[in-house]
Structure 1
Amino acid sequence: MVSLSLMVSMIMYTCGFYIYSSSRKHLLMLLLGLEYMVLSIFVLVVLYLMFFMKSLFFLVLFLVLSVCEGSLGLSILVSMVRSHGSDFFNSFSLMW
C-alpha cells in the first residue's frame, strides 16, 4: 500500500514538473503545475511522517506555506491580467 502511494506521488510530481517546464505561454498553467507538484510533495510528507510515526504538526506548517505560495501566485496573475489584458507571456515586455 505504501509503495503504491509512493509511486503514485512520484508520478504526480513528474507530471507536475512536466507541466511546469513545458508550458511557457500561460501563467495560469504554470501555477497549476506548481500547485500539482506541491500536492504531490504533501502526499510524500504524509507518507513519510506516518511511516516513521512522527508528529503531524509539520503538515500544518507545510499547508500554510503552500497556501501563501498559491495566493501570491494568484495575486501576480490578477495584477498581470489587469495591467496587460491576458496571461500570455508574449503580450508584455519585461524591458520597460
Structure 2
Amino acid sequence: MLTSLYWGLSIFMFLSGVWVFVSKRKHLLLTLLSLEFIVLSLFFSLFLYLNLTNYELFFSMVFLTFSVCEGALGLSILVSMIRTHGNDYFQSFGVLQC
C-alpha cells in the first residue's frame, strides 16, 4: 500500500516538472529548475525501484553524479547568457548574435 503511494507521488512529481518545463519557456532559470526537479523525481523513482527489487544502490550514485554535471553545465550556460545579454529571457537571445 505504501509503495503504491510512493509510486504515485513520483509520477505526480515527474508530470508537474514536465508541466512547469512546458509552461515556463520564457526564462532560462525556470527551465533549468524544472529540469532539476524532473531529475530529482527520476532519482526518487530509481531509488524506489532499486529498494523494491533489493539491488545495490550504487547506480543511484552514478545517476546523481551525472545529474550534478548536468546542473553545472546548465548554470554555466545561464551565467554566460546573462553576461552577454544582461538577462535570461529567451526573446532577447538571437540565434545569429555573437
Same fold by TM (over 0.5)? yes
How many pairs does the alignment contain? 96
Once the 2 structures are TM-superposed, how far is the Cα of residue 56 of structure 1 from its aligned partner?
Answer: 0.5
Aligned residues: CA RMSD: 0.7
Q: Aligned letter for 1:45? A: L
Equivalent residue, structure 1, for 2:34 = 33
Once the 2 structures are TM-superposed, how far is the Cα of residue 83 of structure 1 from its aligned partner?
Answer: 0.4
Unaligned regions of 5+ residues in structure 2, if any?
A: none
Equivalent residue, structure 1, for 2:43 = 42
Task: Show the 5 A alignment for 1:79-90.
Answer: 79-90=80-91
Equivalent residue, structure 1, for 2:67 = 66
Unaligned regions of 5+ residues in structure 1, if any?
A: none
TM-score for the superposition, normalised by structure 1: 0.97
Equivalent residue, structure 1, for 2:20 = 19
Tell me whether 1:7 sits opposite 2:14 in the alignment.
no
Partners of 1:69 and 1:33 in 2: how far apart? 13
- How much identity, in percent, do the aligned residues show? 50
Runs of 4 or more above 2 Å deviation: none
TM-score for the superposition, normalised by structure 2: 0.95
Once the 2 structures are TM-superposed, how far is the Cα of residue 72 of structure 1 from its aligned partner?
Answer: 0.3
Once the 2 structures are TM-superposed, how far is the Cα of residue 24 of structure 1 from its aligned partner?
Answer: 1.3
Q: Aligned letter for 1:29? A: L
3-state SS of 1:92 partner: coil
